[in-house]
């Protein structure tokens, strides 16, 4: 286009035509201004934000931090409450365990006392019966030592007191029972001095006597005891 064309068509430009038509052109809205004017008021009596800088300054205030950040004091309170409840529960459980263990210990102690009372009374009766019956049976141990049988109780020789001519006997269950007795020489009666902690085994006396007889027969015949049986 040249200058002549522009001069000839100057009256037909869009601006000239708008002026001749008499129309009112509304200005386009400013999006940035509308956004800034529509900012909400921050709680806590904070002034209305006008621009971005004021908004950023207001949001860094203590009141905004209290709104945005969680209330950690409530979390700490809940944590302490849960810990205290757990501690109380563990204390109650430990107390119950202690009470149960205490009850079991008390019951075992009472049972032990009853057993001791029973065997002490049994010892008194066995000594009376031994004096009355003079029951005594001597056999041999596997190591050729003396074994004493009396009223269902079994002893091995411990020692002999020469001055009093007393033979001291101990229960053959040396690792489990501390029973003791003595005789004058190897003669009855058998007097128990320390009570046993187990009951008698009356049937075993016959077995021991039969074993002694079987050994003697085996030695005389020079045969195996199993073949004799």
| 133 within a domain of the structure (yes/no) | yes
- The pLDDT averaged over each successive group of 10 residues in the chain (229 residues) is 59 63 60 52 45 49 48 56 56 57 60 84 95 91 90 95 94 93 95 94 88 82 74
**Tokens 């003697």, located at residue:** 216
| 140 within a domain of the structure (yes/no) | yes
DSSP assignment string, 118-144: HHHHHHHHHHHHHHHH---EEEE-TTS
Are 143 and 45 members of one domain? no
Calpha distance 52→6 (Å, rounded): 46
| 183 within a domain of the structure (yes/no) | yes
Are 149 and 224 members of one domain? yes
| 210 within a domain of the structure (yes/no) | yes
Rounded (5°) CA angle 185-191-196: 125
Rounded (5°) CA angle 156-205-189: 60
Calpha distance 108→3 (Å, rounded): 127
Considering 38, 60, 82, which residue would you say is the last residue of a domain?
60
Structure confidence at residue 19 (pLDDT): 61
DSSP 165: T
Total residue length of the chain: 229
CATH number at residue 195: 2.20.25.240
- Count CB-CB contacts under 10 A for residue 148: 21
| 3 within a domain of the structure (yes/no) | no
Domain count, the chain: 2
Are 127 and 224 members of one domain? yes
Are 53 and 140 members of one domain? no
| 98 within a domain of the structure (yes/no) | no
Strands (E), 30-165: 137-140, 146-150, 153-161
| 205 within a domain of the structure (yes/no) | yes
Which residues, in sequence order, are CB contacts of 140 under 8 Å at separation 6+? Answer: 146, 147, 212, 215
| 26 within a domain of the structure (yes/no) | yes
Rg of the chain on CA atoms, in Å: 56
Are 41 and 133 members of one domain? no
Calpha distance 208→47 (Å, rounded): 112
Please give the structure tokens belonging to residue 223. Answer: 């045969």
Calpha distance 102→106 (Å, rounded): 6
Structure confidence at residue 47 (pLDDT): 46
Find the Cα–Cα–Cα–Cα dihedral 41, 42, 44, 45, rounded to 10°: -30
Are 221 and 143 members of one domain? yes
Are 126 and 30 members of one domain? no
Structure confidence at residue 12 (pLDDT): 58
Are 137 and 210 members of one domain? yes
Are 137 and 51 members of one domain? no
Residue 38 domain boundaries: 14-60
Please give the structure tokens belonging to residue 203. Answer: 């049937």
Find the Cα–Cα–Cα–Cα dihedral 125, 131, 135, 138, rounded to 10°: 110
Which residues, in sequence order, are CB contacts of 170 under 8 Å at separation 6+? Answer: 155, 156, 158, 178, 179, 180
Please give the structure tokens belonging to residue 76. Answer: 């700490």
């Amino acid at each position: 286009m040249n200058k002549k064309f522009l001069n000839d068509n100057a009256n037909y430009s869009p601006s000239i035509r708008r002026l001749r038509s008499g129309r009112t052109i509304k200005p386009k809205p400013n999006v940035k201004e509308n956004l800034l004017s529509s900012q909400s008021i921050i709680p806590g009596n904070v002034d209305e934000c006008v621009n971005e800088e004021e908004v950023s300054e207001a949001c860094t205030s203590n009141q905004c931090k209290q709104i945005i950040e969680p209330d950690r004091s409530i979390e700490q309170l809940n944590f302490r409450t849960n810990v205290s409840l757990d501690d109380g529960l563990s204390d109650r459980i430990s107390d119950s365990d202690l009470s149960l263990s205490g009850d079991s210990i008390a019951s075992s102690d009472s049972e032990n006392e009853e057993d001791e009372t029973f065997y002490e009374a049994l010892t008194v009766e066995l000594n009376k019966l031994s004096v009355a019956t003079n029951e005594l049976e001597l056999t041999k141990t596997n190591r050729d030592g003396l074994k004493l049988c009396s009223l269902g109780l079994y002893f091995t020789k411990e020692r002999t007191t020469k001055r009093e001519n007393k033979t001291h006997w101990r229960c053959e269950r040396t690792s489990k029972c501390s029973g003791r007795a003595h005789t004058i020489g190897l003669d009855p009666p058998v007097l128990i001095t320390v009570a046993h902690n187990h009951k008698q085994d009356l049937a075993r006396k016959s077995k021991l006597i039969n074993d002694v007889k079987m050994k003697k027969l085996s030695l005389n015949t020079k045969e195996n005891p199993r073949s004799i049986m």
